[in-house]
Amino acid sequence: MRILNADQAVLDHVAGRRDAIIGRTIDWANINSGSRNAAGLNAVLDALETEARLLPATVERIPTQGSTTVADDGSVRTEAHADALKITARPEAPIQVVLTGHYDTVFPADSRFQTVTTRPDGALNGPGVADMKGGISVLLAALEAFETHPDRHGVGWTVLLSPDEEIGSPASAPLLAELGARGHVGLTYEPALADGTLAGARKGSGNYHLIVTGKAAHAGRAFDEGRNAVAGAAMIAAALHGLNGRHEGVTVNVAKISGGAALNVVADNAVVRFNVRAPDKAAADWIDASVRAIASAPPFEGLTLDLHGGFTRAPKPMDAAQTALFEAVKEAGALLGQSIAWKPSGGVCEGNNLHAAGLPNIDTLGVRGGDIHSDQEFAWPDSFVERAQLSALILCKIASGEIDAAKLKALRMETL
């Protein structure tokens, strides 16, 4: 593998747009788009659509499905979500690349962390500069440059920018599954670590909400007539926590117990919310079965249990296809003077969804940065061009066949 003249022209195209790539990231990050901030999400979507329409591609807003949420009082409600943005070029081409990102952040509309600043060391500090508005800008920059390559016609690509990744992709999951089944290689733009290290194997993740219903009664006059849902929830939470350490790599995090009312009332409702992580399918099946067994047996008479949720991201192990793709990306990076390494991650992202649908993918192709999900989130400005050039070169090498996308897809299908 080597850099050809046509490849170099693509890389130079990226370098020439450095200021624009960084500038639009700052503009987008200065618009709050917390996962449940409908107005902010729509404002960012408008801005993204404006940029997308500069590409020689079809741009569509795709309505997402609604999802159900469990309120703290145990009621089950339907939640609407913003549209996804789909950008498509050459869907008839023999090789199809799927590129994904999300434009929501973890920062709600009333967050104190709202604007981008530059730290004394030169890093950008702002909501979403790394996770992942910077990644979206890198994604678009790579495609803008690749569209100047003479071999581009053999490669079609589809971009999906979703509004709900930070809450588990409840609305966009079917769209990710559909694209994953159709594509040959996936590129996703979560941030790399500050030194450029990529995420390799990823655990799977499940979110559960257990509604506990009891019977209200006066805590003094009729205590024995009540059935305390909060007490039951606490006992269940202890049982769930007790699953830790019983299967290698599996963790259960009891995150929140809601419910109850006045101190002189036996609580008739509670909700236990918890997350599980598992390294592979066997572990995921074990923990899901264990959770459901606990949720099927009230800890004392008079309670009813209603379990909602499950695995939203399947495990993403380093199978043969993933290993081969990482090695190809490492080789492309070396041509650019970039040392590409990877390590396992307990975190999850859209790459889990794509892998589950049969798509080998690299999911940390975004900017170098860190401290995501906090008001210290940062991204290194030099990494915007660096990472866009890496993605652009990957696309060039897929087009030339030096990265054999069809073979990678076949390897992945062998393990399904």
Catalytic positions, please?
104, 165
Q: Which candidate, 353, 366, 377, places its Cα nearest to that of 197?
A: 366
Q: Which candidate, 84, 108, 165, 144, places its Cα nearest to that of 351?
A: 165
Please give the structure tokens belonging to residue 396: 């060039």
Residues in the chain: 416
Report the C-alpha gap between 46 and 128 in whole angstroms: 17
Angle at 265 between CA 263 and CA 268, to 5 degrees: 120
Sign of the CA dihedral running 405, 351, 250, 330? positive
Report the C-alpha gap between 213 and 233 in whole angstroms: 9
Report the C-alpha gap between 233 and 307 in whole angstroms: 12
Q: Which candidate, 87, 17, 50, 32, places its Cα nearest to that of 384?
A: 17
Contact 86, 159 (CB under 8 A): yes
